[in-house]
Amino acid sequence: MKRVVVGLSGGVDSSVAAYLLKEQGYEVIGLFMKNWHDDSVTISNECPWLEDSNDAMIVADKLGIPFQVVDLSEQYKERIVDYMFDEYEKGRTPNPDVLCNREIKFDVFLKIALELGADYVATGHYCRKSEQIVAGNTVYSLLAGKDTNKDQSYFLCQLSQEQLSKALFPIGELTKPEVRKIAAEQDLITAEKKDSQGLCFIGKVRLPEFLQQKLKPKEGVIVQIPNDSQIYNSEIPDFKTREEAIAFDAQKFTYKISDGKIVGTHQGAHYFTKGQRKGLAVGGTKEPLFVIETDVVENVIYVGEGKNHKGLYRNTLFVLNEELHWIRPDLALKEGETMQVQSRIRYRQALEEATLFKVKNGLYVTFKNKQSAITEGQFVAWYINDELLGSGIIS
């Protein structure tokens, strides 16, 4: 009998995942990960992890499976929180959920599961896994979930073959309504529970206050760049190679204060991210202002009016080799090679047609259509059909 450890989060998805595994004849153990201690920056006054671990315990009890809470807050702080502060300080916008899966659920948590003699770990993610033999080796594929509204493969875009070999995704073939229906039929306490939002396992966190613990406020100016600025009409040089042309296309716009007009002040460029419109507190424009660039060195935020502002849109992004990851190493591109894929730069975004182009120091991703708010520090992921082949951090 194969033993599987389920990460019970206190939500409906992982509850049903545990139920299905038990039905399939696995020996199931439920583990709740506690990842957070500091309640001073969580938004709700009830303690989210306490309530969630309680729900997880009730579900485990109902299913008749052993249950325990593991405290991973130490590792979470080191690997996720410190990384987030570091990235914000550099003016990048990290994605804690992707990291949490790579570093916590499928690393620290996986090791605990293996120490408990488990053959697999399982989560309530809406995605699927398949395997095939390639050149005599078993190769694992990460596939999108059946429920296109809920597909969560993006969050697992940093997993390795080794991690995938030990992973099970019991609800990947189901839609959210089907999952809720099963939970209701089995009389699980989580059947009607709302989906959790916010940082993985922390509950909702007030981001500026969270960041202020480490990153001190410092006042700077907000500069509005007109949509007809000369910056957007630069001449396109003649290129000798395809690589030169793509590199030119991948360059982001650079601004100086003299390119626009000062329209307000802010408390720290590192609290803001590209594409953001909330929190600017500048009025007097017909359409809302959006952040088009942050300069953390000079502490300046550049904004543009309206969501179609030219400063928000680009076709091409770049991923450095050291931040490039192939879930399918057997399909990894070699220098000079290209691949037609579908890609997304954020969760919930519809997949867009794109071309990958491998160069010596990294990989270019060129989208057929311009993308809004390509943000450094976020993950770009690429697919062929419904298989996620790889991902990288936008540089």
Half-sphere exposure of 347 (CA within 13 A, CB side): 16
pLDDT one-digit tens code per residue, 319-364? 999 999 999 999 999 999 999 999 999 998 999 999 999 999 999 9
Nearest Cα residue to 390 out of 339, 343, 334, 325? 325
Q: Where are the domains of the chain?
A: 3-212
Tell whether the model's pLDDT for residue 194 goes beyond 90: no
- Name residue, tokens 């003699």: 117
Residue type at 328? R
Residue 69, pLDDT above cutoff 60: yes
Is 241 a residue whose pLDDT tops 70?
yes
Nearest to 68 by CA among 104, 103, 30, 125: 30
To the query of whether residue 47 is one of the catalytic residues in this protein, the response is no
Q: What is the band of 372 on the pLDDT scale with cuts at 50, 70, 90?
A: very high
Active-site pick, 47, 127, 157, 200: 200
**From 47, 100, 127, 157, active-site residue:** 100
Bigger pLDDT: 120 vs 204: 120
β-sheet with 3-7: strand ranges across:
67-71, 27-34, 3-7, 120-122, 167-168
Q: Which pair of tokens denotes residue 185?
A: 């039929």
Question: Model-level pTM?
Answer: 0.93
Nearest to 365 by CA among 384, 377, 380: 380
Q: Give the β-pairing of 261-266 and 220-224.
A: antiparallel
Find, among 299, 278, 295, the residue nearest to 208 by Cα.
278
Angle at the Cα of 395 from the Cα atoms of 238 and 332, rounded to 5 degrees: 85
Instruction: Tell me the mean pLDDT in the region 27-48.
Output: 74
For the chain, what is the mean pLDDT? 93
Which amino acid belongs to residue 188?
L
The string of pLDDT tens digits covering residues 162-186 is 999 999 999 999 999 999 999 999 9
Computed on alpha carbons and rounded to an integer, the radius of gyration of the chain in Å comes to: 23
pLDDT level of residue 201 (50, 70, 90 thresholds): very low
Neighbours of 242 (CB within 10 A): 13
65, 118 Cβ separation under 8 angstroms: no
Taking residues 29-57, report their average pLDDT.
Answer: 78
Which of 376, 340, 383, 395 has the alpha carbon at shortest distance from 95?
376
Give the 3-state DSSP-derived string for 338-379, with helices as H, strands as E and coil as C. Answer: EEEEEEECCCCCCCEEEEEEEECCEEEEEEEEEEECCCCCCE
Give the C-alpha separation, 386 to 153, whole Å: 9
- Residue 29 has φ and ψ, to the nearest 5°, of -120, 135
Longest dimension (CA), the chain: 69
CA distances from 184 to 80, 145, 190 (A): 34, 21, 8
Burial class of residue 132 (count of CB atoms within 10 Å of its CB; 0-12, 13-18, 19+): exposed
Structure tokens at 94: 């990290």
**What is the fold, at CATH topology level, of the domain defined by 3-212?**
Rossmann fold (3.40.50)
CA distance 122 to 23: 14
127 an active-site residue?
A: no
Distance CA 103, CA 356 (A): 26
Contact 261, 218 (CB under 8 A): no
pLDDT tens-digit readout, 260-279: 999 999 999 999 999 999 98
Confidence of residue 215 (pLDDT cuts 50, 70, 90): confident
Please report the pLDDT score of residue 195 as a whole number: 81
